[in-house]
Structure 1
Amino acid sequence: MTNAPHTPQVTDHGGGVWSIPVPIPDNPLGHTLVHLLDTGRGPVLIDTGWDDPASWDALERGLAACGTSIADVHGVLVTHHHPDHHGLSGQVREASGAWIAMHEADAAVVRRSRETDPHRWLDYLAAKLTAAGAPDAHTAPLHEARAGGRMRRMPGGRGALPDREIVPGELLDLAGRRLRAIWTPGHTPGHVCLHLEERHPGRGPAGGEVDVPQGNGRLFSGDHLLPGITPHIGLYEDPDDAALADRGDPLGDYLASLERIAALDPAEVLPAHQYAFADAAGRVRELLTHHAERLASLRTLLTGRPLTPWELAESMEWNRPWAEIPYGSRNIAVAEAEAHLRRLVKLGEAEATVGSDPVTYQATS
């Protein structure tokens, strides 16, 4: 493969690593940074981008700027199952014969999304939102879609099934590279970061400057660690397993995962959004502080009176006023509120109000 120059479309990070911005349609994030890793058996992609013709074209152009093509792709490593990361994986495999690898927990989500009756999902979502205290006006569109048969596919129902499993702690089978999988659940149950255990190719004295420290390699962080965004923490949900709502602690998982990444102390982080950055440990401290402050503020809210998850979400600080949050984003916000409630309950700082329907929560005395 030839070295790709630094252009607005493609960044050559050195040492056989490139990033390709692949657009996300109608999304304020703008694009996903698909990373290309050169190996002894051909290029391997870390994520692929959104399943959209414009995104596919951008990926093709980006690979060409790296001196290769989709037909040459040897494999795809998926950090997590979300469509802006996994969306084009199946099309890449069809065009190249590449394998697709994913953590088993997220592979299970992909299988469930492909197999679950979409009407079952609508029933589940409506019941879940009702139990969280959502008003009838919010759940009415779900009942209408269910009655009208307007939903023919589960969200993520076109996601490609992986061929291989990413096993946490193990080196991946990549010729000539040392890339280790780090399980970092929280954003999704099977999110992984990928630690490139190779000396960073920062320029030394001969080059006249050093861009970044050269020790501790580089980290492909997916959505787990981003330089200026706090990743969404929702719930691990299964429409056919109602008991799942009472199990797990996604926010606790995320916080513990952050600690593992800080301990790695990589020289540079290559995230899936925004831009590459150094000082992973510093960013981890910022995120830990953010969530500690948010948990404390939510506990304060719960000392005033019992609140439903919906009411708590309405009271939380978002990037815009609640009245301006779109319909689908409100569902995400309520899930995030529930994830924080679950953490407070695990910590013994909040509890469900006995006999409440919909369920309300209050701070423990």
Structure 2
Amino acid sequence: MAQTADHGGGVRSLRVPIPDNPLGHTLVYVVDTDRGPVLVDTGWDDPGSWDALTEGLAACGTSPGEIHGVVITHHHPDHHGLSGAVREASGAWIAMHAADISVIRRTRETRPERWFAYMADKLAAAGAPEEHLAPLRAARGRASLPGLASALPDREIVPGELLDLPGRRLRAVWTPGHTPGHVCLHLEEEHPAGLPGHGRLFSGDHLLPEITPHIGLYEDPDDTTVTDPLGDYLDSLERIGRLGPAEVLPAHQHPFTDAPARVNQLLTHHEDRLTGLLALLTTPLTPWQLAERMEWNRPWDRIPYGSRHIAVSEAEAHLRRLVKLGRAEAVAGSDPVTYVAA
């Protein structure tokens, strides 16, 4: 399969591998501007990924040293990981939404052992068994997590505003849910192949052609605000559906058309999932117990250790949504807390 693709109109993409991940790769987009190429996302921070980025840029007729700027859809390491290396090679600016910049700043300033303690406490509160918590408690001070030292952006993406890309019209659309500061980027230019619709959309992980992005809790050890990431995501989806781009250029899988139809599929999927969870909540369950019973892409006993954290976070996000809608409630006095259909 070709490692680079020309999408016309001065937009190309290249595949940057994600080590040991079923997604396989991140699609990094190269957008020509009057001041040189600008990247939308950069890929995972790994020597093989850097080589792929360098080779892909060479195939596009450029190099890391010629990059003018980097626009990041969200802070996750398969999108933001190589941004610092690109900036070091070229002096490029790095732009990100303020909410995700604050995540980057917080993770850079927080010792790894505090993150492990925080995760252990969160999982204990969600009802995780001791055999799952023990490795986290043992890892304090001895391990690190990807993204803890990622590059601090130096420009802020302001929702609704055009980015400073000379010769292009690229407008930021704030689409929280997958992360608090996720943005899609609307290229407000006629589609090069004349497809009907309103320009093209760099959708990051917000809108993908065949899979649904992870929607979990926003993690902040110092913030006690009760957020609703799934509600944020569903609202953001509807906003993108109304935008009606001619083509979507996602960060994974492949470009596609008919964004409103895909949006409707995802809205239906999440409503079906919420309804299915209510059927499970006829008896009180902790978030961990709910995650064990939810439908994933494999049986629970085959889900890797680290992926179970993600699954429980997704279960909690769905529980938050059900509670906010008045369709489920916490059982008073339960510890760890259990939830039941209202």
| Pairwise same-fold verdict (TM > 0.5) | yes
**Aligned residue in 2 for 1:150:** 142
2:197 & 2:19 partners in 1: Cα distance? 37
Asked whether the 8 Å contact 1:187–1:250 carries over to 2, the reply is: yes
**Aligned residue in 2 for 1:262:** 241
Q: CA offsets per residue over residues 262-306 of structure 1, 9 Å max, x none?
A: 001000000000000000000000000000000001011112x10
**Aligned residue in 1 for 2:106:** 112
Asked whether the 8 Å contact 2:77–2:146 carries over to 1, the reply is: no
Q: Please, which of 191, 213, 220 is the counterpart of residue 200 of structure 1? A: 191
CA displacement at 1:138 relative to structure 2: 0.4
- 2:141 matches 1:164: no
Q: Please, which of 125, 146, 167 is the counterpart of residue 176 of structure 1? A: 167
Identity level (%): 75
- 2:288 matches 1:294: no
Written as runs of structure 1 = structure 2, the 5 A alignment for 1:1-365 is 8-146=2-140, 149-151=141-143, 153-202=144-193, 213-241=195-223, 243-244=224-225, 247-303=226-282, 305-364=283-342
- TM-score computed with the length of structure 1 as normaliser: 0.92
1:9 & 1:131 partners in 2: Cα distance? 44
1:157 & 1:283 partners in 2: Cα distance? 33
Structure 1 stretches of 5 or more lacking a match?
1-6, 204-212
Asked whether the 8 Å contact 1:116–1:154 carries over to 2, the reply is: no
2:149 & 2:114 partners in 1: Cα distance? 17
Q: CA offsets per residue over residues 300-332 of structure 1, 9 Å max, x none?
A: 1112x1000000000000000000000000000
RMSD over aligned CA atoms reads 1.0
Asked whether the 8 Å contact 1:235–1:250 carries over to 2, the reply is: yes
Task: Tell me which stretches of 4 or more aligned residues in structure 1 moved more than 3 Å.
Answer: none
1:214 & 1:299 partners in 2: Cα distance? 40
Q: Specify the code of the residue in structure 1 equivalent to 2:59.
A: A
Q: CA offsets per residue over residues 184-233 of structure 1, 9 Å max, x none?
A: 00000000000000000006xxxxxxxxx243100000000000010000
Asked whether the 8 Å contact 1:114–1:159 carries over to 2, the reply is: yes
2:246 & 2:145 partners in 1: Cα distance? 40
Asked whether the 8 Å contact 1:24–1:31 carries over to 2, the reply is: yes
Q: Specify the code of the residue in structure 1 equivalent to 2:190.
A: R
Q: Specify the code of the residue in structure 2 equivalent to 1:320.
A: R
2:301 & 2:251 partners in 1: Cα distance? 30
CA displacement at 1:155 relative to structure 2: 4.0
The secondary structure found in structure 2 opposite 1:92 is: helix
Q: Specify the code of the residue in structure 1 equivalent to 2:228.
A: D
Structure 2 stretches of 5 or more lacking a match?
none
CA displacement at 1:154 relative to structure 2: 4.6
Q: Of the two, which has the highest radius of gyration?
A: 1
Asked whether the 8 Å contact 1:124–1:239 carries over to 2, the reply is: yes
- TM-score computed with the length of structure 2 as normaliser: 0.98
Asked whether the 8 Å contact 1:171–1:178 carries over to 2, the reply is: yes
Q: Specify the code of the residue in structure 2 equivalent to 1:310.
A: W
Q: Specify the code of the residue in structure 1 equivalent to 2:241.
A: A
1:258 & 1:143 partners in 2: Cα distance? 38
1:248 & 1:145 partners in 2: Cα distance? 28
